[in-house]
């Protein structure tokens, strides 16, 4: 992944006043958890999905991908923008043994607007991705890395854990959240 490509995308989305946020490995990179992300994962507010589709149709080449269970994401697109693969998700959801879980995108979910080289990058929370990765198969290493980070640096967004706990979650995920938060979530 090339960071110039991320800045180019951020500029295009911000110019059109899209509500979006960065997640996954780029988010982990910005917290020093991984050394280098492979691609860009962004989550889009549903009200902006058609605007975003138009933007990416102009700046990238769409790659066809089939939706795979347990992912319930309503709108999912993959584009190549310059040299970087970008996954665009809207109404991101995961099915699991206790029900369905949905990532909410609103101002509370965007926990930081990081400015780099005059580009504004809206970041989602490690707390939300800690929950999401636990619901994804084969992501144990990322769960462990985020957990270690939160133990070392503290939980900053208890309210997002509280919000996560209002949705159906496996007992193991609930226990992991509660062990990180004590009585605060």
Query: What's the pLDDT at 183?
Result: 66
What are the start-end ranges of the E strands in 67-118?
Answer: 75-81, 84-90, 93-96, 99-102, 112-116
> What pLDDT, in 10s, does the model give residues 51-70?
999 999 999 999 988 878 89
Q: 70, 135 in Cβ contact below 8 A? A: yes
How many helices and strands, by DSSP H and E, does the chain display? 7, 9
Domain 3-181 adopts which CATH fold? Beta Polymerase; domain 2 (3.30.460)
Give the span between the Cα atoms of 129 and 173, in whole angstroms. Answer: 12
Q: Within the chain, what is the greatest distance between any pair of CA atoms?
A: 48
The set of residues, in sequence order, having a beta carbon less than 8 Å from that of 163 and lying 6+ positions away, is 104, 108
Binned at pLDDT 50, 70 and 90, residue 176 comes out as very high
Among 49, 47, 55, 22, residue whose Cα is nearest residue 37: 22
Residue 168, both tokens? 């159906």
The answer, as to whether pTM is greater than 0.75, is yes
Q: 39, 67 in Cβ contact below 8 A? A: no
Binned at pLDDT 50, 70 and 90, residue 174 comes out as very high
């Amino acid at each position: 992944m090339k960071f110039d490509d991320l800045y180019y995308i951020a500029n295009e989305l911000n110019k059109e006043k899209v509500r979006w946020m960065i997640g996954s490995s780029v988010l982990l990179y910005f917290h020093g958890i991984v050394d280098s992300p492979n691609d860009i994962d962004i989550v889009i507010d549903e009200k902006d999905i058609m605007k975003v589709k138009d933007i990416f149709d102009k700046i990238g080449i769409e790659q066809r991908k089939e939706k795979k269970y347990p992912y319930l994401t309503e709108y999912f697109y993959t584009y190549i923008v310059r040299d970087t693969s970008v996954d665009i998700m809207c109404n991101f959801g995961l099915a699991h043994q206790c029900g369905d879980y949905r990532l909410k995108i609103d101002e509370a979910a965007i926990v930081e607007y990081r400015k780099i080289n005059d580009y504004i990058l809206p970041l989602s929370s490690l707390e939300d991705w800690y929950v999401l990765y636990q619901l994804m198969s084969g992501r144990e290493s990322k769960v462990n890395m985020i957990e270690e980070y939160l133990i070392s640096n503290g939980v900053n967004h208890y309210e997002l854990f509280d919000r996560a706990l209002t949705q159906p979650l496996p007992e193991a995920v609930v226990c992991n959240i509660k062990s990180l938060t004590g009585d605060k979530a």
